[in-house]
Each structure stands twice: as structure tokens, then as C-alpha cells.
Structure 1
Amino acid sequence: MELNTIQEVENTTVVNISKVLYSGNVVVTGGRNGEAKSSDGKLDIELTSPGAKGNGTNPEQLLAAGWSACFIGAMHLGAVKTGVNLPSNLSVNTSVDLAANDDGFFLQAHLQVILPGLPIDEARKVVETAHATCPYSKATRGNINVKIDVVV
């Protein structure tokens, strides 16, 4: 298929970027019941709508996985800055809901950050710092409902 015309629909700049550190590229065909493939070949997955038959994942699970991984990275950076020793068995359990109201479809998220054995005041400090710096948290701030619980 040959594409001859590019029509820009939106180009919103919210923050000035000085350097791109990494760019992930994925092509999706077939929508929620299709497939997703990364340009480097490391991702090649089947997509299936939530509740539908099939073995594929869905956009909500992919967002939850990416956000959880990024949040853990942000916690590690925050822990270094604040001098907190994170437990090796920490985890983030993220749920992303596809929701609806009279205005259409929306997402909301619930992150359960599990920091076994860490004093609650240190855990809160690390989680608050991570939420302030995690790129996924920044991207969704003010756009979707987000709840974060800390479990020690």
C-alpha cells in the first residue's frame, strides 16, 4: 500500500525535550483483535479484546505492565536520591480499567506498591518521589483517575 499524503492531525508540545533517550516503535494491525509487532522484532504478540476468546493480551494489560516496570525504575532512582534501601522483593501490582460514562470510554488505574519490611514513612517517600518522576505517571497525571496504595 502506497501512502502519498501525510496530513498532520495534532502536534502538541507540552514539554520541551532536550534529548530522546529511547524510542519504541510498534505497529498494530487489526485493533483489539489483531497483533502488535515492534520494529526491532522483540515484541510480536496477539491482541484479544478483554473477555473475548483467544490467547492474546490487550492494551490495558500492556499499559499496566509498562507502568509497573517504569514505576519500579523510578523507585530505584528515588531510593538512591533519598538514601532508602529498597527490599529486593518489591513489586508493583497495577490494574488498568477500561471504563465508560455518558461521555464515552476512559481509563483508570490502581497501583499497589509492595515494599515488604520497609518502614511506612520511607515507603511513602519513595512512592511519592517515584510518582512525581515516573514518565507513565507524568503522562497520565490529570488525565485519568489514579489510586496508589503502599503495602509494607
Structure 2
Amino acid sequence: MQVLYTASAQATGDGRDGHVRTSDGVVELDLAVPKEMGGAGDAANPEQLFAAGYAACFHSALRVVARRAKADVTGSVVDAEVGIGPNGSGGFGLTVTLVVDLPSVERSVAEQLVEQAEQVCPYSNATRGNVATTLTVRTAA
């Protein structure tokens, strides 16, 4: 694979109760363990960052496949939920739910576009077979 871009970030402090910063300084935030996991919950956490990245990446992939199919995805929205919990082997695992709203697309076309986007999206390609993922398609049509 020819790498077109590399993002670089550094974590300092106490991991989930620490600080992250990208090498270019565009992203710089404090982190906190979520209240649901016994923390203060007063700052961002890695699952929020993963959810934001996945939602944005999947939405881009969706727009690419829609453009190829000449489908109008005006008003489309992708929501990502990332869950974390014990994996039963002494570690932790993630779950992902993607909810894709395509209000101006017929249901069968919307489902095809989401399936195609799932094949194009780098996050989907990285997590396939490793993270339990649920895709939900919502349309007005």
C-alpha cells in the first residue's frame, strides 16, 4: 500500500486520564475515564475520538460511492457509537454501531450504498473481523 498521509499523535500523563496531542497541534485535548467506567468523565475519551473519526471516515466513503452511483445523498448523516467492555479474556473489546441517515434515497439504493461504503471505508476495513459492528440504514423513502 502506498501511504498518502500519516497522522501522528502522542499520549502523556496517565493514559485515559492524560493528554493527547497531534504532532501538528491541530488536536490537543485532555482525556478522562468516563463516569460509567469509574472516572470523572469531565474530558474526552478514546472511544469518543474513535467514534468521531469513524463517523467522518464512513461518511466520506459513503459520499464517494454515492458520487460513483450518481445518487443524491443530500442531508445524509452518519452517527457512530463506540462501546467498550470486558472481552472475557482479561482485556477489553469494542463494539461499533453506525446509523446512516439517507433521507433522499430510496431504501434499496441506500442499503447498497452503505454496503459499498463499508467496503471502501478504511475504518471498516481495519475493524472487520475484529470489532462487532452493526450498520443501520434510515431513509425517508
Q: How does the TM-score come out when normalised to structure 2?
A: 0.91
Residue number in structure 2 paired with 1:114: 101
Aligned 1:6-45 pairs, distance under 5 A:
17=1, 19-30=2-13, 31-45=15-29
Letter in 1 for 2:81: S
1:58 is aligned, of 41, 45, 53, to: 45
**Structure 2 contact 78–101 (Cα < 8 Å) conserved:** yes
Identity %: 38
**Helix, strand or coil: the match of 1:150?**
strand
Whichever structure has more strand as a proportion of its residues is 2
Give the unaligned 5+ runs of structure 2. none
Residues matched between the structures, number: 134
Letter in 1 for 2:85: A
Q: Do structure 1's residue 132 and structure 2's residue 115 form an aligned pair?
A: no
**Helix, strand or coil: the match of 1:34?**
strand
Distance 2:7 2:62 in 1: 22
CA RMSD of the aligned region, Å? 1.1
Distance 2:129 2:24 in 1: 32
Deviation of residue 143 (structure 1)? Answer: 0.4
User: Which aligned segments of 4 or more residues in structure 1 are displaced greater than 4 angstroms?
Assistant: none
Deviation of residue 144 (structure 1)? Answer: 1.0
**Structure 1 contact 74–130 (Cα < 8 Å) conserved:** yes
**Helix, strand or coil: the match of 1:64?**
helix
**Structure 2 contact 18–32 (Cα < 8 Å) conserved:** yes
Residue number in structure 1 paired with 2:76: 90
Deviation of residue 54 (structure 1)? Answer: 4.9
Distance 1:99 1:53 in 2: 18
Give the unaligned 5+ runs of structure 1. 1-16
Give the number of the structure whose alpha-carbon radius of gyration is greater: 1
